[in-house]
Amino acid sequence: MHDPPKPPDLLAAVACFLREELMPQLSGALAFHTRIAANVVDIARRELELGPRADAAEHQRLVALLAQRGDLAALNQELCRRIREGDMTLQTPGLAAHLWELTLAKVAVDQPGYASYQRERES
């Protein structure tokens, strides 16, 4: 067991430092890349916070959707194979719902400010 502070809190502090303290001192390419660095630190923080639960939910949905057991990566590959070969389509019960859940969970980590995500989350 590691001592606190916890990784997400440390990363939140790093992102805040990059944005609030460092960026105002910079201009041009360095300011641009510092903003990207802060965004990347936020992605890592959000994945630490939200990833485990999203992965578990994805795994549970895949087991039900595919009627098959296996680890998450193997089941996701099996889903890809079935879509590619036309064994599963948007008419397959549960597929569209799974793809939406999966994608919303990804964007929630990668880019929660993205306009399409904001719109879909409202609906």
Pick the closest to residue 35 from 26, 48, 23, 50 (CA basis): 23
Instruction: Quickly tell me which residue has 């939406």 as its tokens.
Output: 100
Residue from 25, 73, 93, 122 binding another protein (CB under 8 A): 73
Instruction: Quickly tell me which residue has 């609030």 as its tokens.
Output: 20
Subset of 88-107 contacting another protein (CB under 8 A): 89-90, 96, 98-100, 102-104, 106-107
Smaller CB separation from another protein, 1 or 67:
67
Burial label, 41 (beta-carbon count in 10 A; 0-12, 13-18, 19+): buried
Backbone angles phi, psi at 71, to 5 degrees: -80, 170
Subset of 10-69 contacting another protein (CB under 8 A): 33, 36-37, 39-40, 43
Residue ranges that bind another protein, judged by CB under 8 A: 33, 36-37, 39-40, 43, 73, 76-77, 79-80, 83-84, 86, 89-90, 96, 98-100, 102-104, 106-107, 110-111, 114-117, 119-120, 123
